[in-house]
Amino acid sequence: MSFGTSHPARQTIQETAWNMASSVRRLMLLALRSVVGKRDVRSHFRLRRLALEKKLFRKTITGQELKEALQRLGIARGRTIWVQSSWNEFYNFPGKPSQVIDLFLDMIGPEGTLVMPAIPLKIEPDRVLSIDTEPVATGLICETFRRYPRVRRSIHLTSSVVALGPQAEFLVKDHHTTEAPWDPESPFQRLMEVNALCVGLGVGRFPANLTPLHAVESILRHENPEFAKVFRGTISYRWRTRDGREGTHEYLDRFGPFNAGRLRRHYAREQYTELRLSNLWMWAISARDAIATGVELGRRGISMYQLPWYARILS
């Protein structure tokens, strides 16, 4: 995707290129499903990779080693911490998801706030979203955390978050009023306001799977029509809370494949910390640095929505 001056003819060409990329991706997925005999191709290859890595990485991760690694990432008392994780990658840690959560809570103390993604397991706009009881699709650590006492959850069909601590209410309270999932009133941009630290545990090398980076297109959609095209149409759903509140929320629907990992080389090495503990990749960056750099890159035409080479030929 090119991020220059828009023109009707050029927009048509870019739409064609974007649709071409999506079609090629669908065809490749169908071919892979046929070859491996599995519908969920991503899970198939992830499990194959895990099986191989379990033979290569066998060093046990102790609780003390995990704590020391988190300290190196910048986890400290009083901080607001955004955590994205994959429990599948904790196979060398002989503990439970709750022990990882409790370690974070102990390290940040009662003055700190812990935040995690909580995308609903079932994204069905025609069904009332019972936000307080809906399981999450963002991993076992997140689902365990969702069930902790006093955890607050933002109301959103596709981008909900859960939080516990003094900043929790501020982060989650207005998510269901946003026009786009990552707008200024969302938890994601508010992570910048509270100077949060974003942490990845087992979700790939930095900045893969860094959800707050979607705030970039939310910010730039107002100044660059190419980012506005990331959103296509709207989604409307009804929600209900445990205490009986109900409402309807309509928001802009994000469209198109993306790959945050391709932005890695554009971030200065001193902006983030990355380390490996046995098999477990871990990284951390401040929300302000992550999003501000993403916005700067977007203004220079560099985006995680970049089209693949075969589609860029058209654009």
DSSP codes of every residue in 141-203: HHHHHHTSTT-EE---TTT-EEEESTTHHHHHTTGGG-SSTTSTTSHHHHHHHTT-EEEEESS
Residue 313 has pLDDT above 60, yes or no: no
DSSP 139: -
Q: How confident is the model at residue 215 (pLDDT cuts 50, 70, 90)?
A: very high
- By residue count, the chain amounts to 315
Question: How wide is the angle at C-alpha 217 spanned by C-alphas 215 and 218, nearest 5°?
Answer: 60
pLDDT at position 14 is 55
pLDDT at position 307 is 52
pLDDT at position 54 is 77
Q: 3-class DSSP state for residue 303?
A: coil
pLDDT at position 17 is 61
CA distance 284 to 200: 6
Identify the residue with better confidence: 47 or 32: 47
Mean pLDDT in residue range 65-81: 98
Mean per-residue pLDDT of the chain: 88
User: How many CB atoms neighbour CB 121 within 10 A?
Assistant: 11
Identify the residue with better confidence: 244 or 8: 244
Mean pLDDT in residue range 166-178: 98
Residue 12 has pLDDT above 70, yes or no: no
pLDDT at position 1 is 44
User: How many CB atoms neighbour CB 83 within 10 A?
Assistant: 24
Q: How confident is the model at residue 34 (pLDDT cuts 50, 70, 90)?
A: low
Q: How confident is the model at residue 19 (pLDDT cuts 50, 70, 90)?
A: low
Q: How confident is the model at residue 314 (pLDDT cuts 50, 70, 90)?
A: very low
pLDDT at position 310 is 43
Please confirm whether the linkage preceding 207 is cis (ω < 30° from 0). yes
Tokens matching residue 289: 């640095």
Residue with tokens 């892979």: 32
pLDDT at position 255 is 83
Instruction: Please give the share of the chain, as a percent, with pLDDT higher than 90.
Output: 75
Mean pLDDT in residue range 201-222: 96
**Ramachandran quadrant class, 122 (left: phi over 0; alpha: psi -120 to 50; beta: rest):** beta
CA distance 95 to 34: 38
Partners of 162 in the beta sheet? 116, 153
Tokens matching residue 284: 């951390």
DSSP 197-225: EEEEESS-STTTT-GGGGHHHHHHTTT-H
CA distance 258 to 154: 24
DSSP 306: P
Nearest to 171, CA basis, from 147, 195, 203, 149: 195
Pick the range with the lowest mean pLDDT from 4-18, 44-58, 107-121, 164-178. Answer: 4-18
Tokens matching residue 34: 């046929």
Identify the residue with better confidence: 258 or 46: 258
Residue 122 has pLDDT above 70, yes or no: yes
Tokens matching residue 77: 């008392």
Q: Tens digit of pLDDT for each residue in 255-286?
A: 888 899 999 999 999 999 999 999 999 999 99
Pick the range with the lowest mean pLDDT from 14-23, 48-57, 252-261. Answer: 14-23
pLDDT at position 160 is 98
Tokens matching residue 49: 């990779």
Residue 5 has pLDDT above 50, yes or no: no
CA distance 180 to 221: 10
CA distance 175 to 182: 8
CA distance 258 to 255: 9
Partners of 276 in the beta sheet? 281
Q: Per the confidence metrics, is the pTM higher than 0.75?
A: yes
